[in-house]
């Protein structure tokens, strides 16, 4: 049987093409039950009279783009034309809505404008952004008074409150982990805390692999 529950399909019903979703399959009779998109009634068809519709690949966008679509579509449901215009994203507008400032530059590319429009209309998935530790070197003086790089300390932050602190271990103290503090951040999260921290950002994989 080539169909399974949940498949999107097309079929002819009352002399016109209709769309629906497979709600049940019956190998013994070679029939499928279809929930019609515009009707609460399930229809029963021979599986030979039904055509599976391949779903389009889901659009993937960065988190900062997803944030813009989520907020502005909720505010201006039918105003894609305004939302896609990079000139809208002035410093004042970006600050007002707490958007990532990268959105203006991102939308200046025609290919990104098309991606934005498709994500707005058809839905999207959020691209998994790379994660970083902020690793701050501990500098000590040797017997000659010369600075020597020693161990490291790491930035911890509670983004719910904006509070952050520096600890020498990624596993200390456990009470902070349980209360929502974290040590892994995206680029935008780090820069939003303090742009100077970005100079000390190290990919999580690099540290964990040591």
pLDDT in tens, 162-200: 788 888 777 765 555 556 688 888 888 888 888 899 999
Both 157 and 180 in a single domain?
A: yes
Task: Give the tens place of pLDDT for each residue, 21-45.
Answer: 888 888 888 888 888 766 667 878 7
Number of domains in the chain: 3
Give the pLDDT score at 140: 67
Q: Tell me if residue 143 falls in helix, strand or coil.
A: coil
Answer yes or no: is 145 within a domain.
yes
Give the pLDDT score at 30: 83
At which of 126, 141, 159 does a domain end? 126
Both 37 and 94 in a single domain?
A: no
Residue 141: which domain range? 132-208
Answer yes or no: is 3 within a domain.
no
As a whole number of angstroms, the distance between CA 18 and CA 41 comes to: 13
Answer yes or no: is 1 within a domain.
no
Task: Give the tens place of pLDDT for each residue, 138-154.
Answer: 766 666 655 556 678 89
Both 137 and 119 in a single domain?
A: no
Task: Give the tens place of pLDDT for each residue, 73-96.
Answer: 988 877 899 999 999 999 999 989
DSSP output for 35-102: EETT-SSEEEEEGGGEEEPPPPPPEEE-HHHHHHHHHHHHH-TT-HHHHT-GGG--HHHHHHHT--TH
Answer yes or no: is 2 within a domain.
no
At which of 93, 126, 159 does a domain end? 126
Both 78 and 35 in a single domain?
A: no
């Amino acid at each position: 049987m080539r169909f399974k529950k949940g498949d999107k399909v097309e079929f002819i019903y009352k002399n016109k093409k209709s769309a629906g979703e497979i709600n049940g399959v019956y190998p013994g009779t070679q029939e499928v039950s279809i929930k019609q998109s515009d009707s609460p009634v399930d229809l029963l068809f021979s599986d030979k009279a039904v055509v599976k519709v391949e779903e389009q690949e889901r659009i993937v966008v960065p988190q900062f783009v997803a944030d813009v679509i989520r907020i502005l579509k909720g505010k201006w449901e039918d105003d894609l034309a305004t939302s896609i215009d990079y000139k809208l994203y002035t410093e004042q507008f970006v600050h007002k809505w707490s958007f990532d400032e990268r959105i203006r530059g991102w939308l200046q590319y025609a290919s990104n404008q098309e991606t934005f429009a498709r994500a707005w209309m058809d839905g999207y998935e959020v691209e998994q952004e790379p994660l970083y530790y902020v690793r701050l070197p501990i500098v000590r003086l040797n017997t000659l008074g010369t600075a020597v790089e020693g161990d490291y300390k790491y930035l911890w932050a509670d983004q719910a409150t904006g509070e952050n602190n520096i600890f020498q271990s990624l596993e200390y103290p456990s009470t902070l982990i349980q209360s929502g503090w974290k040590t892994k951040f995206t680029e935008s999260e780090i820069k939003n805390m303090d742009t100077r921290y970005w100079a000390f950002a190290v990919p999580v994989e690099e540290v964990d692999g040591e």
